[in-house]
Chains A and B, each alone.
Chain A
Amino acid sequence: MKRRNLFLGLAASALLSAPALAQTPVRIGMITTLSGPGGYLGQDIRDGFQLAVDLAGGKLGGVPVEVVVEDDGFKPGQAKQIADRFAKAEKIKLFTGIVFSNIAAAAVPDILDNDLIYVSANAGPSNFAGKDCNRNYYVMSWQNDTLHETAGQSATMLGFKRAFILAANYQAGKDALAGFKRMFKGEIAGEIYTRLDQTDFAAEMAQIRAAKPDVVFQFHPGGLGIAFMRQYQQAGLLGQIPMVLSVAAMDQVIADAIGDASIGVNVTAHWNGDFDSPANKTFMAEWLKKYGRAPTYYASQGYDTALAIGAALKGTGGQVEPQAFRTAMLKADFASVRGKFKFGPNQHPVQDWYAVEIVKGPDGKPFLKTKERIASDVGDVYAKDCKL
């Protein structure tokens, strides 16, 4: 009897919502970094994305979706293999998730060459933003340079004259230093590229001390940044030479890791946990409820990426057809947790940037507090070379 009722119920609901049930879920391939020093970055992107899906009852834009996640292990070759398998064996047409620019450089071209769609939730390397931009390539985070241009601008505004700049030696690191130098009006006292697998920065600390700059800018994402900041502190430099950073070098996890020593550091960001918009308040509350840890900006980007894909899928009625998807996607018809968000001509974001300061939070832990908006509607310098 009970079972029959269940069947009847199922049949009734099938009749009522026939179009929705007829749809097989859209599969979204998420290739991201879940292990190694950058593991928590990919974890937050994945969890942010999944949060948006779960809040909408397993759907994005009213279309049922299934997120297929694989760990690239921080290895470009492995990401390329996963992309290949997703595309050929699993017939996935929509991709996202890659954290690091060097990994994107290996995996994304294959995806685009097969006329499949890639929506970046983090990496925004310069080589995909200019003349090699692509109709099926969207970036939800930032173009790498802009993330650090605002740090350069902030350092100028704070009146610093001599900057020592360091970044990990890969595409995003090169974009970072290029971006900082573009907007910093002072003199560069020294410039160092560190190895992407480097964890001991003692040699660099000695050089910073010898160069006597009045500000340090560095870009070491994830675990590298934690190691760098701790050693900066241990070398006794943290009290002596101030730092101006983009949020990529001082996210919530890094700030927690170095504790009180991070207080007072100047950061620039496109999103922060204390943003007052309803969209962000919902995101923060639901995130804390589900995961019980403070989100990093990577989480906000994962969440925004899911919302943007949802808006596009809604526009296409659940079809992942590049032309229709593009028309719908470029409207960016979703409530971003950052507030204003639109796409520029190269399908990278045009958005506002904020100065953020690390203060002591109510629980005694470091807290990223938004100070002021320092730039509005910022696109990127490569957009003008992109002809779409």
Chain B
Amino acid sequence: MLLVEQALNGVQLGVTLFLLAAGLTLIFGIMGVINLAHGSLYMVGAFAAAFVAARTGSYGLAALAGLAAAGLVGMAVEYVVVRRLYGRDHLDQVLATFGLILFFNQMAIILFGRQPLFVTMPPVLSGAVTLAPGFSYPSYRIAIIAVGLAVAIGLSLLITRTRLGMLVRAGATHRDTVRALGVDIRLLYTIVFGLGALLAGLAGIMAGPLLAVQTGMGEQILITTFVVVVIGGIGSVRGAFFAALLVGVIDTLLRAFLPGFLRTVMVGPEADALGAGLSSMGVYLLMALVLMFRPKGLFPAHG
């Protein structure tokens, strides 16, 4: 039962990572931009939702506000800053988007202060669901998993079945050809960036009631998100999905079981120290292994 519960925790972490990674991988794959400020969009979604939830008490409005804020801010960032970076090299992009992180964090401090904000959980979801006799799991976390999976299916339909998805796929592999065919690539970029921001905002909104909404919350999760993008294959949403689940489950299981396992073969403090160290290295080791055997990631977008 403990194993099942920990696996569910892993899946829940995985879908949150997927929501962030999907946008990041699209932006990187299609526009070639390393967007360090992606975590800030997650933060914007979380703050907007927390603010509206505290003011109105309505979770529906809060979710809408969070999505709208993240999406609009994302498109504004693309229009004002990122648009100027497409032709530049990655160092310039890193510098500019790092500057955006500082800007957004400071802005959040000016608007909301340094003390974290809190979102109470929607009452409907604050209980636990009994999945098997003697085994229950928090309903809110189940809801996160459900929303994450629904978004994954929706995104996959969007990309494989619609005209926009076709352009996205084409843009990822043959950017110049798409432009030569007369597609308004700038508009496409803005839409894709906004879509990525929307997903990041959704992750932020859902994280609100679990974690504390505070400045710098985006950077905490951003690094793991980059690991997911690299493992999954840059530009591949399918890769991001499987890599996110893999990273989420492996990270959680290592954290949960490795120290206990080491304690059976070693003595006390060393086992704890080694266990804590190894389990935080786990996902990076996984990334190194994947890169050794599949240098382009598990599901490379470029064939």
Contacts and interface: CB of A to CB of B under 8 A. Distances in A.
The answer to whether A and B assemble together is yes
Contacts of A253: 115
B197 to A, nearest CB: 21
Contact of A35 (B5, B6, B215): B215
Contacts of A280: none
Interface string B205-238: 0000011101111011100000000000000000
Contacts of B191: none
Nearest to B276: A193
A253 B3 CA distance: 34
Contacts of A77: none
Interface stretch (A88-96, A121-129, A230-238, A355-363): A230-238
Contact of B217 (A40, A199, A210): A199
Contact of B114 (A39, A210, A257): A39
Given A200-B13, A202-B12, A35 B114 contact: yes
Nearest to A210: B2
A195 interface: yes
A35 B106 CA distance: 9
Contacts of A203: 6, 9, 252, 255-256
Contact of A257 (B9, B116, B217, B273): B116
Binding site secondary structure of chain B = helix
Given A206-B6, A236-B128, A36 B12 contact: no
Interface string A68-87: 00000010000000000000
Contacts, number: 99
Nearest to B138: A234
In which size bucket is the chain A interface?
20 to 34
A197 B251 CA distance: 14
A235 B5 CA distance: 12
B25 interface: no
A281 to B, nearest CB: 25
Contacts of B114: 34-35, 39-40, 43
B272 A191 contact: yes
Interface of A: 34-37, 39-40, 43, 74, 169, 191-195, 197, 199-200, 202-204, 206-207, 210, 223, 226-227, 230-231, 234-236, 253, 257
Q: Which 10 A-B pairs have the closest CB atoms?
A: A36-B216, A39-B114, A202-B9, A193-B276, A203-B256, A199-B211, A226-B212, A40-B115, A206-B5, A169-B276
